Amino acid sequence: MIRVQHEDFDVGAELVAIGRGNTRIGGLVSFVGLVRERAGGEAITAMTLEHYPGMTERELGAIEAEARQRWPLEECLIIHRYGKLAPGDRIVLVVTASAHREAAFASCQFLVDWLKTKAPFWKLEETSAGGRWVEARDGDAESAKRWVAE
């Protein structure tokens, strides 16, 4: 399931809700991405996430479909926020649920790696010196590539 929203989410409530009633699930793995207080030594006052409505949902849906094809997932949830956020705010939640932990761990990491390089979001960091668009990290592309050869 994909949700793209400005509003915050309740991690505990999502984890309880996702597997409710599905006793085939043996393990849930979650990743929560947060706004860091610093970028390159500078304090961030705010972070604004811009996205491409319509394409965002489509890309995240495609990434979820890819994960479901690769691993036997019972449940899969991606919530990604947009708009103006503050240090410490939650940005993204990825939850995977499977009968066994291996699939849940691996698919959760895959989803995070792929959404970082494919989902059309852009971060604007605000510091006392002004706004600055975050540059894509080579490391993110490398992390995403490791899933291609499999």
Footprint on this chain of another protein (rule: CB under 8 A): 33, 49-52, 54-55, 58, 80, 91-92, 112, 115-124, 133-136, 140
Least Cβ distance, residue 140 to another protein (angstroms): 8
Residue nearer to another protein on the CB measure, 25 or 111: 111
Instruction: Output 19 or 120, the one with its CB closest to another protein.
Output: 120
Please answer whether residues 112 and 31 qualify as being in contact, where contact means their C-beta atoms are separated by less than 8 angstroms.
yes
Least distance in Å: CB of 22 to another protein? 27
Name the amino acid, one letter, at 101.
R
Burial class (CB in 10 A: 0-12, 13-18, 19+), 107: buried
- CA-based nearest residue to 104, from 80, 74, 79: 74
Beta carbon of residue 109, minimum distance to another protein (angstroms, whole number): 12
Comparing CB distances to another protein, the nearer of 36 and 100 is 36
In sequence order, what are the residues at sequence separation of 6 or more whose Cβ sits closer than 8 angstroms to the Cβ of residue 137? none
Closer residue to another protein (CB): 17 or 55? 55
- Minimum distance between the CB of residue 20 and another protein, rounded to whole angstroms? 27
| Cβ atoms of residues 108 and 30 within 8 Å | yes
